[in-house]
Amino acid sequence: MHRFSVPDAELAWAFSDESGHAVVQLHGLTSSRSRDRVLDLDLGRGLSDTRLLRYDARGHGHSSGRGVPEDYRWSTLADDLLRLLDFWFPDEPVHGVGPSMGAGTLLHAAVRDPGRFDGLTLLLPPTAWETRAARADDYREMADAIEAQGVEPFLELDRSAPKPPATVGHPDTVPHVRPELLPSVLRGASLSDLPAPEEIARIDVPTTVLAWVEDPAHPLSTAEALVDLMPHATLQVAHTPDDVRRWPGVLADDIAHRTR
């Protein structure tokens, strides 16, 4: 398995080279490249005429990590992303795509290095700003419960939680994070938020925001706020699984517009 070294972790990656536009794809919290494919969130599947880099964030999937919550802050994950891009695509603009935590990571990286991206496709933006505090409390409670009772009660709570209508029919999955790291990963999420609104307003690359309805962890309010803030952002909202299955085509169109 291919590995890329960052401070205190080794990142597992895959690269598909079809001699086209540079693209990097991220995943969500407690997920991975392989789990996002099961959840229909792997928008890069079937993507052609690109150089597509996909990787597992530290502590997720097949990447290593340590039990330090600060390692999993989105700002730290943005450091990892920028190191990867400097290696794979030096001095070249990249199109970034990713859901939830991946979207947060991309926004932190875009704020820090504005010239790094020439387009973004942001899926399921998470709670942010006013809605973040309550979600951060949830993550801390989840981490405490896992340490006290093990992973199974956490998995049962996730299985029994109401699901957004756009995810109906998806198979049940489990976090792709080693159990001993899961509390630290969740606490890292509790320490994270999107960049400040005034920073996001300076991201002036073409951006598509993809959201779905009835998901408190990924509220439409965040997606709508991003579109209001970012000067070249548009919003598409999924209500059904068929809507989500069209998202890979949205990514392909976004990249095609970059290459014209």
155-179 confidence digits (pLDDT tens):
888 888 889 999 998 888 899 999 9
Predicted pLDDT of residue 156: 86
CA angle 15, 16, 21 (to 5 degrees): 105
Structure tokens at 183: 């509390």
200-252 confidence digits (pLDDT tens):
999 999 999 999 999 999 999 999 999 999 999 999 999 999 999 999 999 99
Predicted pLDDT of residue 161: 81
What count of other Cβ atoms lies within 10 Å of the Cβ of residue 248? 18
Which residues share a beta bridge with 50? 21
13-32 confidence digits (pLDDT tens):
999 998 899 999 999 999 99
Q: In the structure, what pLDDT confidence band is assigned to residue 76 with cuts at 50, 70 and 90?
A: very high
Alpha carbons 196 and 184: distance in angstroms, whole number: 24
Q: In the structure, what pLDDT confidence band is assigned to residue 184 with cuts at 50, 70 and 90?
A: very high
Sheet with strand 117-123: strands edge to edge: 3-6, 9-17, 50-55, 21-25, 94-99, 117-123, 207-212, 233-238
Domains of the chain: 3-259 (3.40.50.1820)
pLDDT above 60 for 46: yes
Task: Taking residues 4-17, report their average pLDDT.
Answer: 97
Name the CA dihedral angle for 146, 37, 12, 8, rounded to a multiple of 10 degrees. Answer: -30
Predicted pLDDT of residue 260: 54
Alpha carbons 89 and 202: distance in angstroms, whole number: 23
Predicted pLDDT of residue 197: 98
pLDDT above 60 for 5: yes
Predicted pLDDT of residue 79: 98
End-to-end CA distance of the chain: 35
Alpha carbons 61 and 72: distance in angstroms, whole number: 14
Q: What's the chain's average pLDDT?
A: 95
Rg of the chain in Å (alpha carbons): 17
Q: To the nearest whole percent, how much of the chain has pLDDT over 90? A: 88
84-132 confidence digits (pLDDT tens):
999 999 989 999 999 999 999 999 999 999 899 999 999 999 999 999 9
Confidence (pTM): 0.97
Pairing assessment for the beta strands 50-55 and 9-17 based on DSSP bridges: antiparallel
Phi, psi of 129 (to 5 degrees): 55, -115
- Residue partners of 36: CB distance under 8 A and separation at least 6: 27, 28, 42, 99
Q: Give Cα separations from 196 to 97, 103, 128, 136 (angstroms).
A: 20, 14, 9, 17
Q: In the structure, what pLDDT confidence band is assigned to residue 259 with cuts at 50, 70 and 90?
A: low
- Residue partners of 86: CB distance under 8 A and separation at least 6: none
Kind and range of the H or E run holding 22: strand 21-25
